[in-house]
Amino acid sequence: MLIRKSPSHPILPSEITPETVYHGRRRFLAQLGLGAAGLAAAACGRAAESAAPSGQSVGAGADLKLARKTEMAGGETPTSYEDVTHYNNYYEFGTDKSEPAQYAGTLRPRPWTVAVEGECEAPGRVGIDDLLKLFPLEERVYRHRCVEGWSIVVPWDGFPLGPFLARFKPTSKAKYVAFTTLYDPKQMPQAGGVLPWPYREGLRIDEAMHPLAFLSLGLYGKPLPNQNGAPLRLTLPWKYGFKSIKSIVRIEFTEQAPRTTWSVSAPDEYGFYANVNPKVDHPRWSQARERRLGELFKRPTLMFNGYPEVASLYTGMDLRTYF
Ligand X SMILES: Nc1nc2c(c(=O)[nH]1)N[C@H]1C(S)=C(S)[C@@H](COP(=O)(O)O)O[C@H]1N2
146 binds Mo ion (CB under 5 A): yes
| Count of residues touching Mo ion (by CB under 5 A) | 4
Q: Least distance from C-beta 229 to ligand X, angstroms?
A: 6
Residues near 266 by beta carbon (within 8 Å), at least 6 away in sequence: none
CB nearer ligand X, residue 93 or residue 176: 93
Out of ligand X, Mo ion, none, what residue 79 binds, judged by CB under 5 to 8 A for its kind, is: none
Distance CA 117, CA 124 (A): 7
241 binds Mo ion (CB under 5 A): yes
Cβ-in-10-Å burial (0-12, 13-18, 19+) of 267 comes to exposed
CB nearer Mo ion, residue 130 or residue 201: 201
Distance CA 111, CA 22 (A): 8
Q: List helix spans (H) across the chain.
A: 19-23, 25-32, 36-42, 81-86, 99-103, 128-134, 161-166, 205-208, 261-265
Q: Note the residues at the interface with ligand X (CB under 6 A).
A: 88-92, 144, 146, 181, 199, 228-229, 241-242, 244-247
Out of ligand X, Mo ion, none, what residue 180 binds, judged by CB under 5 to 8 A for its kind, is: none
Q: Least distance from C-beta 269 to ligand X, angstroms?
A: 12
**Of residues 89, 190, 226, 261, which one binds Mo ion by CB under 5 A?**
89
CB nearer ligand X, residue 32 or residue 146: 146
Bridge partners, residue 145, by sequence: 151
CB nearer Mo ion, residue 68 or residue 284: 284
Residue 4, classed as helix, strand or coil, is coil
Strands 289-292, 299-300: parallel, antiparallel or unpaired by DSSP?
antiparallel
CB nearer ligand X, residue 181 or residue 263: 181
Under the rule (CB under 5 A), what is the footprint of Mo ion?
89, 146, 241-242
